[in-house]
Amino acid sequence: MDPARLIPAAEAIPSPWGLLEALLVLTFALHILFMNLSVGSALLAFLGRGSHKDLAKELGHRAPTLLALTVNFGVAPLLFVQVLYGQFLYTSSVLMAVWWLTAIGAVIIGYYGLYVHDAKGETAPGLARLALAVSLVFLLYTGFLLSNNMTLMLRPEAWGAYMANPRGTLLNVADPTMWPRYLHAVVAAPAVAGLYAALLGEKKGRPEWVDYGMAWFTRVTMANVLIGGWLLMSLPKGVMMAFMGASPVATAALAAGVVAGLAALMAGVQKKPALAAFLAVLTVVLMAVTRGQVRLATLAAYFTPASLPVTGAVSPLLMFVVSLLIGLACIGYMVKLYAKSAPGAAGRN
C-alpha cells in the first residue's frame, strides 16, 4: 500500500507557515525547559538525602509549580503542531488512542503526587517518598507516550499496521529513533535541575548546593552528548545527511546547538552556574530548531508546510501573540510572588 494514500488532506492555515513554525519552536523550547525543571527537580528531591536533605526539600516544594508551568507551556506547541501537521498528528493519535488518552490521567496522578510529597514531607516522610516515586513513574510514562506519538506521526509507512491492529493500541517502540529521542529529553531533566539547584545555591549562599548541582549538570550532560550522537545516527540516512551538509539550515542548527551545549558543559566544569544556565537555554532553543528540521526532512517525501494554502486571517495570530505576552507577564509576576513564599524565604520556615 502506498503510505501517501493514508495521509488525510491538509487544511489551510491562517498565517505564513514560517511564522507558525517559529512560534512552534519557541513555545516548545519553553515547554521542554519547564519539563526538565519539574521532572529533574522531582528526581533530585527523591534522591536527596543526608547533607542534601535541605536542597531536596527546596526542590520538592517547587516541583508542583514547575509542573503546572510545564503543562501550560505545553499547550501552545501542541496546537501549532496540529495547525501545521494536523493530518499526521491526528492520525498517529488515533492509531495509539488507547494509550494516548491515558496521558491525561497520568499527568493528574503525577501532579497530585508532587503535592502529596510537598505536604507530607515532614509529617509522613514514608508516604511522601512513595508519592514522589509514583509521580515520577507517571510523568516518565507521559513522556514515553509523547515520544511515541511525535515519532509515529513522522512514519506514514508504519500506519499500515492498523490493518492488523485496529484497536488503537499501536506504539512506535520499533522505530530506531523513538528510544534515543525519549532518552535525550528525559536524561536532560536532572542536568537542568542540577543547574537550577546550583543557581539556588548561589542565591542562598549554599556552596554545597552549587557543587552538588554542577556535578549533576556536568556528568549527566556528558552522558546526554552520547545519547545525542545515538539519536543522530538512528535517523533515516536521507534525514541524517541533511545534518551532514545536505541542508545548510539543518547543518547550521545542529552545529550551533552542539557548540552551545559543549560551551555550557565547559562552564559547568568551571562552576559558573549563571553562564552555564544562559548557554543551556540557548542550547535548548537551538535543539528545538534542530528537532523542527528533523520533522521537515522526515516528512519531505510526503508533505511540506510551505505548500499549505494561507487564508491571511490575521486576527487569530494577533490574539495569540497578545495573549501570550500578557500571559508571560502574569506568570512572571506570579513566579516572583511565589519565590518569596519558598522555603527559606522571609516569613517561611
The fold adopted by the segment(s) 3-8+17-309 is Formate dehydrogenase/DMSO reductase fold (1.20.1630)
- Which amino acid is present at 151? T
The closest alpha carbon to 236, from 196, 295, 191, 292, belongs to: 295
Alpha-carbon span 33 to 185, nearest angstrom: 10
C-alpha cell belonging to residue 199: 543557581
pLDDT at 249: 96
pLDDT at 342: 57
Please say if the pLDDT value at position 344 is more than 60. no
Name the strand (E) or helix (H) holding 40.
Answer: helix 17-47
Mean pLDDT of the region 240-263: 96
Please say if the pLDDT value at position 343 is more than 80. no
Integer Rg of the chain from CA: 21
Contact, 161 vs 174, CB < 8 A?
A: no
Contact, 88 vs 9, CB < 8 A?
A: no
Mean pLDDT of the region 29-37: 96
For residue 270, count other CB atoms closer than 10 A to its CB: 11
**Cα-based distances in Å from 86 to 9, 92, 139, 231:** 9, 10, 25, 25
Contact, 46 vs 132, CB < 8 A?
A: yes
pTM of the predicted protein model: 0.90
Averaged confidence pLDDT in the chain: 92
pLDDT at 244: 94
Higher per-residue confidence, 227 vs 332: 227
The closest alpha carbon to 190, from 210, 211, 219, belongs to: 219
C-alpha cell belonging to residue 191: 542536568
Please say if the pLDDT value at position 341 is more than 70. no
Buried residues in 67-86 as b, exposed as e (16+ CB within 10 A): bebbbebbebbbbbbebbbb
Contact, 304 vs 6, CB < 8 A?
A: no
Mean pLDDT of the region 170-183: 96
What is the pLDDT confidence band of residue 349, given thresholds at 50, 70 and 90?
very low
The closest alpha carbon to 299, from 1, 2, 22, 4, belongs to: 4
pLDDT at 313: 79
Q: Domain coordinates of the chain in residue numbers? A: 3-8+17-309
Alpha-carbon span 193 to 173, nearest angstrom: 28
